[in-house]
Amino acid sequence: MRARWLRSAMAVISAVTLGAAPAAAATARAASKTVYFAFDDGPGEWTPELLAAADAYHAQVTLFFVGRSAEKQPEIVARAAAAGHVIGVHTYSHRWLTGMTAAQVRRELVNGRAALQPYASNCWRPPGWATSPAIEQIGRSLGMRQVLRTVGRTSRRPVFIPAGWTDVDKIVSTVQRTVFDGAVVTLHAERSGNRAQVLAFERLLPVLRARGYRFAPVPGCSRPGFRG
Ligand SMILES: [Zn+2]
């Protein structure tokens, strides 16, 4: 008991005597919560804007890219990886896997990953989030981890913005209302040509930061190409 009291007293004393600036303390407190932003369906027209917004707030995110789209814009994939974002695999063609044979599923994953090399993470997401234990197992046999809604053992609801949402205010308010420490916040910004979700992301970054959140890639996903 006494030792504990002494330790906390020493911590206070050293914080004071070492001149821990109030601003630094506030920053440490401010970074105590985490949001994992994830974008499905890119890369596309709005990916550079998304990357610029993330950069402005030192936010790192998880980008589930479609192989076929990535092949057309390899420079965007490279730039995102260099900035420390996770480049997740969202199959090659973005066709739903649930109607496919095992061989076709395997091809979608292998080709999707190949299109993102050398930056592909071990993490992947099925198109439409349509999956099954058998599909997840095919991914696992390829060393790929299926990432859907949650991180860790949280039982809270995910924060998921459907691809069709184009109302920036509604997206921002929905995320603000439902976000929590450790939430994976999924946005769609690409295939539908939907800029609204990138604009919402730009608005959410300062708002969530003011509420004490930092922005990190989904844990457990590798980041080849990032030298941070
Ligand atoms: Zn998708």
CA of 38 to the centre of ligand 1 (A): 11
Domains and CATH numbers, the chain: 34-215 (3.20.20.370)
The alpha carbon of 42 and the centre of ligand 1 are apart by a number of angstroms equal to 8
DSSP for 114-150 reads HHTTTSEEEEE--GGG---HHHHHHHHHTT-EE--S-
Instruction: Please report the pLDDT score of residue 222 as a whole number.
Output: 94
CA 70 to ligand 1 center in whole angstroms? 13
For residue 163, the CA-to-ligand 1 centroid distance in Å is 8
Among 30-34, 60-64, 180-184, where is mean pLDDT lowest? 30-34
> Which pLDDT score is estimated for 134?
97
Question: How far is the centre of ligand 1, averaged over its atoms, from the C-alpha of 53 (Å)?
Answer: 21
Centroid of ligand 1 to alpha carbon of 76 (angstroms): 18
CA distance 97 to 105: 6
pLDDT score recorded for residue 157: 72
> 52 alpha carbon to ligand 1 midpoint, in Å?
22
Per-residue pLDDT of 130-157, as tens digits, reads 999 999 999 999 999 999 876 555 556 7
Residue 57 Cα to ligand 1 midpoint, Å, equals: 25
The closest of 130, 129, 124, 99 to 111, measured between CA atoms, is 124
33/43 Cα distance (integer angstroms): 28
Q: Across the chain, what does the average pLDDT equal?
A: 86
Q: 88 by DSSP, 3-state: which? A: strand
Q: Mind listing the pLDDT tens digit for each residue in 157-206?
A: 778 898 889 999 999 999 999 999 989 999 987 765 679 999 999 999 99
